Structure 1
Amino acid sequence: MAAIISSLSASEARALLPQLHELLHDAVDSGASVGFLPPLPAAESEDYWQSVIEAVEAGHRVLLVARQPGTGDLLATVQLDLATRPNSLLRAEVSKLLVHRRARRQGLARQLLVALEDHARTLGRTTLVLDTRQGDIAEQLYQSMGYQFVGAIPAYFINFDGQPHATAVYYKLLAAK
């Protein structure tokens, strides 16, 4: 599916808050490992998206979205958390890649990651890092896009099943623009 990919300003993100909430709830309810456990309280989602908007406003985070052509419906999102220390301005963390269940397996995650990598290059960020639940299908995507497996940290988080799970850590070095 070809989607419209764009970077949101803080004000644009505020205007899309209902759809951002729905996207996060859908991800959590479908078992995605994105830092929240079901059932996700509305207040927790609100606090989270407010913190994202504040980070975008401060220039510490990039928020990309994928929208349905024609309708503008929000289908997916991903974030780039920018390191801010003077010695770390070459790196950023890929986080919260969320694709709504109705739009999965259509190439949106890949489109978002390509756009995110282009955005990172534009900002001079050539080292990207991320982590994901070890054994998750997302690992296949990251590996297919050239992300290198660093290792796994056992018992890193509690998942929706109430059990500790390992996280897999990846990096990718981008060619400078």
Structure 2
Amino acid sequence: MTLTTDPETLAPRIRVLSSVDDAHARQLADVLVDCVEGGASVSFMLPLTRERASAFWRRVGEGVERGDRLLLVAEDAQGIVGTVQLLLELPENQPHRAEVAKMLVHRRARRQGLGAMLMQAAEQLGRERGKTLLVLDTSSVEAERLYARLGWMRVGVIPDFALLPDGGPCDTTYFYRALV
């Protein structure tokens, strides 16, 4: 499913992947490695090999195929440059919500609106699946600004929640978005 595309100008487009093949896994691994090397606290420590990153995306692909999650990608003329996931498989007492995870944009493609496009597409897909609440957490000040600009509500900060890729501690900030 393509949510945004402009083949005339080769502008970035957002689409949902129904599976993760080897080419997708390699491109997604490049985005993940770039973000981790840039200091993003997204569950991985340095050094992150492309093999380990590709294995992660293949596991994500298994969840996509089971219907546990949706995987959105942002693509430009060179391939995948961003991604976000919508986690749908939650406890049975939370059928109304989903979690947003791994919103990543390659450093070469930042400041072009891709993060906003990915988040708006995730929100749209959440609505289409009957979700009325989305939640996420971030350790990025830049991401916090983006989420606030898009209408997400900041809940609070947990100090020393995780580690940065180089081993130093970082806080995480939780946000929610009502989809009604």
TM-score exceeds 0.5: yes
- Residue 16 of structure 1 is matched in structure 2 by 24
**How far did residue 119 of structure 1 move?**
0.5
Q: Which residue of 2 aligns with 1:118?
A: 124
Structure 1: unaligned runs, 5 residues or longer: none
Aligned match of 2:7: none
Deviation by residue 1:67-108 (Cα, 9 ceiling, x = unmatched): 11xx36111111111133322111111111111111001100
Query: Which position in structure 2 is the counterpart of 1:149?
Result: 154
TM-score w.r.t. structure 2 length?
0.88
Give distance in 2, aligned partners of 1:81 and 1:105.
Answer: 25
Q: How many residues align?
A: 171
Alignment RMSD (CA, Å): 1.7
C-alpha deviation, 1:164, in angstroms: 1.5
| Equivalent in 65, 80, 83 of residue 73 of structure 2 | 65
TM-score between both structures, scaled by the size of structure 1: 0.90
Q: Which residue of 1 aligns with 2:34?
A: 26
Q: 1:8 to 1:117 in 2, by over 3 A?
A: same
CA distance in 1 between partners of 2:55 and 2:78 (Å): 24
Question: SS where residue 113 of structure 1 aligns?
Answer: helix
Structure 1 position 7 matched with structure 2 position 16: yes
- Percent of aligned pairs with the same amino acid: 44
> Contact 1:83–1:91 (CA<8 Å) still a contact in 2?
no
SS of match in other structure, 1:16: helix
CA distance in 1 between counterparts of 2:142 and 2:90 reads: 31
- C-alpha separation in 2, matches of 1:46 and 1:160: 17
Alignment-mate amino acid for residue 174 of structure 2: V
